[in-house]
Amino acid sequence: MRKLIVQMSMSLDGFIAGPNPAPNNPLGDNGLRLHAWYDQPGSHNFGKDVEGDTGAVIMGSVMYYESLPWWHGTGPLGDDVPCFVLTEQSHEPKEAAKVFTFVTEGIEEALRLARAAAGDKDVLINGGANTIQQYIKAGLVDEMYIHVLPLLLGGGTNLFGALGECMPLEKISVHDEKGVTHLTYRFERK
């Protein structure tokens, strides 16, 4: 346990949000389509598996501000799972639900705090793409759960961008179901 996990729904062309994101359209054009599988009746919910093992969440401040209205006063996984938001001091909100802690000292400090709060459970990086990329580049991510949708969004926010270095992965599992394919990879430690 105590792994650092990334979980994302991604289009076949690598986007986790469509083009033209806006406050009333936080996932961009057609971006909500990436998440339709989540409540699909009758299918095994891999998303809930990951969330059940999660003891703390890390996210970037862009995601925090865009998603806050949708979380109705709690964190992304409710009130019991502490959430650490990477931010700059100038962007720290004056008020926030108590599940959120704002971290201004960078990704390693956020991870240290999240691990301490998570106890025996995993730490989940909830996004956005830039936050995920920073943790991957720093070699800190243990496992990645990617839910691939049979859609081409044609533009938007790219999950990986150009990381600038080659990293081999170990494929742990592939679960295919109607409308979504769940891929799990482990990073090889240097």
Partner 1 sequence: MSKIKARMSMSVDGFIAGPDASQDNPLGTNGLKLHDWIFDNPKQENSLLQGIRENTGAAIIGYNMYYEAIPHWGGTGPLGDDIPCFVLTSEDKVPENAPAAFTFVTDGIESALEKAQAVAGDKDVWVGGGAYAIQQYIQAQLLDELKLDIVPILLGGGTSMFGELGRFIEVDKLEVRDEPNVTHFTYRFKKA
Stretch that binds partner 1, among 72-80, 81-89, 113-121, 149-157 (CB under 8 A): 149-157
Instruction: Tell whether residue 181 is a contact of partner 1 (CB under 8 A).
Output: yes
Pairing of strands 15-17, 157-158: antiparallel
List 72, 98, 171, 189, residue binding partner 1 (CB under 8 A): 171
Instruction: Tell whether residue 29 is a contact of partner 1 (CB under 8 A).
Output: yes
Cα→Cα distances 110→57, 95, 117, 161, Å: 10, 19, 11, 22
Stretch that binds partner 1, among 59-67, 92-100, 114-122, 142-150 (CB under 8 A): 142-150
Which helix (DSSP H) or strand (DSSP E) does residue 16 occupy? strand 15-17
For partner 1, the closer CB: 113 or 141: 141
For partner 1, the closer CB: 94 or 171: 171
Instruction: Tell whether residue 25 is a contact of partner 1 (CB under 8 A).
Output: no
Edge-first strand listing for the sheet containing 143-149: 100-103, 83-86, 54-60, 122-127, 4-11, 143-149, 180-187
Query: Of 52, 56, 48, 51, which is closest to residue 119 (Cα–Cα)?
Result: 56
Instruction: Tell whether residue 153 is a contact of partner 1 (CB under 8 A).
Output: yes
Which tokens hold the place of 165? 């270095």
Which residues contribute to the site for partner 1 (CB under 8 A)?
Answer: 12-14, 18, 29-30, 136, 146, 148, 150-155, 158-160, 162-171, 174, 176, 179, 181, 183, 185
